[in-house]
Structure 1
Amino acid sequence: MTDDGVQRGRPRDPEVADRVRRAAAALLFEAGFEATTVDEVARRAGVAKATVYRRWASKDDLILEAFALLLDDQVPLPGSGSLEADLRAIYASAVAMMMSEAGMAWVRTLAMESARNPQVAALLRTGMERRAEAAQRMLDRAVADGQARSGADARLLIELFNGLLLTRALGRLPAPTPEELEEVVQVTLRGIGV
């Protein structure tokens, strides 16, 4: 951009940013934080490394967006108007993601990397904080609709459910059955219900 407010050169293609984010999310899921390099993301997205750095100041900034995209794509937060139906959908998609072979490997890699690398742990905390904020908005709508009690904490609900999945993934145990998932939905509803 020049001093007179006129942008010089070629305008940025919004599809490029999306391709880069998607390449980073796929690589993050397949290989973990350490193996998600800007070079490899750029190669997979079919762009120059400089193109990535023009949009993201650091690898960490890109990883945070990739992590958010990965969760949004794999475990969307629905807004059906029914808290019970939304919990069923969220829990089912989280199980499908995290209890697949690739998902369990990703969980184990993420746990290992977080334990030994404070930078990865900080990125994970920031990513989960952003996710908790979005889930809290969903829960606040349920409170406004009379489906949940005031003061219900989405962060705690996420941590409780993630604890179940982490235990299963790290222990290489079977995924929760549909009956177990239904029980978790009902326990959650009793805990946050009006």
Structure 2
Amino acid sequence: MPASERPGGRTARVREAVFAAALSGLAERGYASLTIEDIAERAGVHKTTIYRRWGTLAQLVAAAVADLSETTVPVPDTGALESDLHEMARSIVALVTSEPGRTIIAALFSDAVRTPEVAAIKREFYAARYALTDVVVRRAVERGEIPERASAADLLAAVAAPIYYRLLVADLPVDRAVADRAAAAALAAARAGALNA
């Protein structure tokens, strides 16, 4: 069964335990010191279970990161781009200020410099987020809210960049007000055609 599926029963419990163990291990040890054996022990499963389902440590970490992002930053569908962007920005703030979210940020933005596997995970993670944001953009274009050539990648960057800047560069707090300002600025840029591909 592909790791991206959301099965029920024991399989779901194993998946949840393994993902939690991978993220907690990542937080405590960093990617370079993380092992399948350590994750298996933390999760209470045999390491062959992990190898059979995810193949490699990089694939497991990528799946755990993607799962956390999908569950905490869902694709909004409120019927209007403005409220979609506000929901998206608030979800990003909720993710990056949570304990698991801080783990992801630490791994993706520090370990990626030193570890090619983490750099690949980071690229895959954002490629998936761009694809999900494209759904939001296509709906907005169909409703006539933004120009047809609006770029999903640029829209996501416009929403997320102020949040990440405050968090990673300026070391300033991020909260709902920051999220709402980022969403409003991204919306204005998209409406003005500044985010056209």
TM range (shorter): 0.7 to 0.9
Query: Contact (CA 8 Å) 2:62, 2:125: kept in 1 or not?
Result: yes
Q: Higher mean Cα deviation, 84-93 or 21-30?
A: 21-30
Aligned to 2:129: 131
- Spell out the pairing of 1:36-185 with structure 2 (5 A cutoff): 36-99=34-97, 103-104=101-102, 106-171=104-169, 173-176=171-174, 178-185=176-183
> Structure 2 length as normaliser, TM-score?
0.77
Q: Where does the alignment leave 5 or more consecutive residues of structure 2 unmatched?
A: 1-8, 193-197
Identity %: 30
Shift of 1:88: 1.0
Aligned to 2:5: none
Query: Contact (CA 8 Å) 2:158, 2:185: kept in 1 or not?
Result: no
Write the distance in 2 (CA, Å) between the matches of 1:74 and 1:102: 10
Q: Where does the alignment leave 5 or more consecutive residues of structure 1 unmatched?
A: 1-11
Shift of 1:80: 2.1
Write the distance in 2 (CA, Å) between the matches of 1:105 and 1:67: 9
Q: CA RMSD in A?
A: 2.7
Write the distance in 2 (CA, Å) between the matches of 1:174 and 1:184: 15
Gap change, CA 1:185 and 1:163, over 3 Å in 2: closer
Gap change, CA 1:62 and 1:178, over 3 Å in 2: closer
Q: Deviation per CA, 1:23-44: give whole Å up to 9, x if none.
A: 3345445654334421222122
Larger Rg: 1
Count of aligned pairs = 183
Gap change, CA 1:179 and 1:79, over 3 Å in 2: same
Write the distance in 1 (CA, Å) between the matches of 2:118 and 2:33: 12
Shift of 1:124: 0.5
